[in-house]
Amino acid sequence: MSSIFIILIATAVVLFCIIRLKLHAAISLLIAALLTALLTTPEMIMAFGEQKGMSSAEITSLTHLTVGKRLAIAFGNTSAKIGILIALASIIGTSLMRSGAADRIIRGLLNLFGKKNTSLALLSGSFTLAIPVFFDTVFYLMIPLVKTLTIREPRKFSLYLMTIIAGGVMAHSLIPPTPGPLFVAEEMGIDLGAMIIGGLVIGSITVLAGYLYALWANKRWDLPMRDTADISVKELEKFSLKSTSELPSLSWSLLPIILPLFLITGNTFSSVWLAKDSLAKGVFETIGDANIALFIAAILSLWILWKHLIDQSLFKKYITEALTSAGMIILITSAGGAFGQMLQQTGIGSQIGAMASNYQVALLPMAFVITALVRSAQGSATVAMITAMGVMSGVVNAELTFHPVYLALAIGCGSKIFAWMNDSAFWIITEMSGMEVKETLRHFSALLMVMALAGLVSIMILSTLFPFA
């Protein structure tokens, strides 16, 4: 049985389990990983080991492992790479939201941009918050503000709505520490600082494209603001009623977001610009490590939360909720990592790697299309990125004419096509904004498609002009 056939079967199993059987993504991925491992022959594993440059002893040891052990090792390897980061990112996001720091950032941006540029303030605020906070949470947080602003300007409801979607949705797939880009960067051996910088650049381009579409759509279709009865919105609206003096200061609110980005990217630049044995380089290598940088940010965010909680008995409850949510994400991502590694052991990497020498230009759209197909079929951007990474694993060792970060970003952009009824965010946005399904397709699905295609085009152009190979 060929490796391509095994991958087709495994991918079909993932989609069948999620779409038809309605199984949890983690269970679906583990089932597919187990099936892939069972179908993989010792000869395929040996070819995989040789491709990875393993010694004869390592290859022999790998081929003699049981299916269960291979699966467990792959699961553990992924968890070791991203587990702490996801847990810390969840703590930071929850602390910013519950303390009112996230709302303070939005108010600061509104003051900075002015009333005439409210849509740009919402766009920037959503993009900024989505770096440490999951998109669903960002949307929960900002939709009450959108509704409040729309009371004064009813004709701009769809514009404001699309700006918070456009700002928040791309960071989820392009900028660590969100799980998808974090996983892809770790699997491809891409420095997180480089991934953050690349994600910020491509993210800015896609957000601009989304904003232009939002301006056009707002003029083309009238979208009234309707009554909704969502409890989560009411809970978050209490922050909009507080005076600015009751919220954390803007500098403290921004610190848990800006500081880890500075430390991680500082570590990346120090490795290039500073002497190998310099003190500054040693300091950046320590505190610029992603785990340490986010740990420092998490401590700061916890202090902000503790200081601004009226009822401090809720402190433990909120952190427990954050860690519970993070645990589920870690489980899904680790299961996806196990699936990806089982796919790699089929030897598909050597086949795609061989294509890389002759079809360099086609690799970026290939990664984009594979991710887009999986996303369209099952709805989860993170699962789509994990699955595509498993299929494209062979490119990691290929002689690329461009930096692999471009490939990771192409996978991230591909995860945004096509968002429709099988995506949980589709229904969250539909229900909380009061839109009808056809309106959500116009103001959410089409918006994401425009942004994703703009991202792919910009990635292909930049990989040609600035390959950094």
Q: Report percent pLDDT > 90 for the chain.
A: 29
Q: What is the distance between the alpha carbons of residues 339 and 187, in angstroms, rounded to a whole number?
A: 12
Q: What is the distance between the alpha carbons of residues 316 and 314, in angstroms, rounded to a whole number?
A: 6
The pLDDT of residue 230:
41
Quick check: 132 pLDDT over 80?
A: no
pLDDT tens digit sequence for 302-322: 999 999 887 878 899 889 988
Contacts of residue 295, Cβ cutoff 8 Å, sequence gap at least 6: 84, 88
Q: What is the distance between the alpha carbons of residues 281 and 273, in angstroms, rounded to a whole number?
A: 9
Classify 133 in phi/psi space as left (phi over 0), alpha (psi -120 to 50) or beta. Answer: beta
Quick check: 455 pLDDT over 90?
A: yes
Q: What is the distance between the alpha carbons of residues 264 and 294, in angstroms, rounded to a whole number?
A: 9
**Mean pLDDT calculated for residue range 130-156:** 75
How sure is the predictor about 195, in pLDDT bands with cuts at 50, 70 and 90?
Answer: very high
The pLDDT of residue 233:
46
The pLDDT of residue 327:
87
Q: Report percent pLDDT > 70 for the chain.
A: 89
**Mean pLDDT calculated for residue range 387-397:** 73
Its pTM surpasses 0.75: no
422: containing domain:
3-465
Cis amide bond preceding 418, omega within 30: yes
The pLDDT of residue 232:
46
**Mean pLDDT calculated for residue range 19-33:** 87
The pLDDT of residue 343:
82
The pLDDT of residue 231:
37
- DSSP assignment of 287-309 equals HTSHHHHHHHHHHHHHHHHHHH-
Cis amide bond preceding 177, omega within 30: yes
How many domains does the structure of the chain reveal? 1
Q: What is the distance between the alpha carbons of residues 400 and 458, in angstroms, rounded to a whole number?
A: 18
pLDDT tens digit sequence for 272-300: 677 777 887 888 888 988 889 889 999 99
| Number of neighbouring beta carbons within 10 Å of residue 461 | 11
CB 25 within 8 A of CB 380: yes
The pLDDT of residue 446:
96
The pLDDT of residue 48:
82
Q: Taking all residues of the chain, what is their mean pLDDT, rounded to a whole number?
A: 84
The pLDDT of residue 409:
96
Q: What is the distance between the alpha carbons of residues 449 and 376, in angstroms, rounded to a whole number?
A: 11
Question: What's phi and psi for 365, nearest 5 deg?
Answer: -65, -30
**Token digits for 188?**
């491809």
Quick check: 368 pLDDT over 60?
A: yes
Instruction: Please tell me which residue, 349 or 122, carries the higher pLDDT value.
Output: 122
The pLDDT of residue 313:
83
pLDDT tens digit sequence for 224-239: 877 654 434 455 456 5
The pLDDT of residue 352:
64
Question: What's phi and psi for 170, nearest 5 deg?
Answer: -80, -35
Which of 165-169, 236-240, 364-368, 457-461 comes out lowest in average pLDDT?
Answer: 236-240
For residue 322, which amino acid is it? Answer: A
Question: What's phi and psi for 229, nearest 5 deg?
Answer: -125, 55
Quick check: 341 pLDDT over 60?
A: yes
Q: Which of 359, 369, 454 is nearest to 415 (CA)?
A: 369
**Mean pLDDT calculated for residue range 200-222:** 96
Contacts of residue 417, Cβ cutoff 8 Å, sequence gap at least 6: 372, 375, 376, 448, 449, 452, 453
**Mean pLDDT calculated for residue range 332-345:** 83
Q: What is the distance between the alpha carbons of residues 369 and 417, in angstroms, rounded to a whole number?
A: 9
The most confident of 187-201, 256-270, 412-426, 429-443, by mean pLDDT: 187-201
Token pair 């954390």 is found at 248
Give the sign of the dihedral formed by CA 285, CA 413, CA 446, CA 23.
Answer: negative
Q: Which of 10, 12, 4, 14 is nearest to 332 (CA)?
A: 14
Q: What is the distance between the alpha carbons of residues 220 and 285, in angstroms, rounded to a whole number?
A: 51
The most confident of 3-17, 30-44, 233-247, by mean pLDDT: 30-44
**Mean pLDDT calculated for residue range 144-165:** 84
Instruction: Please tell me which residue, 38 or 240, carries the higher pLDDT value.
Output: 38
pLDDT tens digit sequence for 418-443: 887 667 678 778 877 888 888 988 99
Which of 3-17, 150-164, 270-284 comes out lowest in average pLDDT?
Answer: 270-284
Contacts of residue 369, Cβ cutoff 8 Å, sequence gap at least 6: 414
> Greatest CA span in the chain, whole angstroms?
71
Q: What is the distance between the alpha carbons of residues 357 and 369, in angstroms, rounded to a whole number?
A: 19
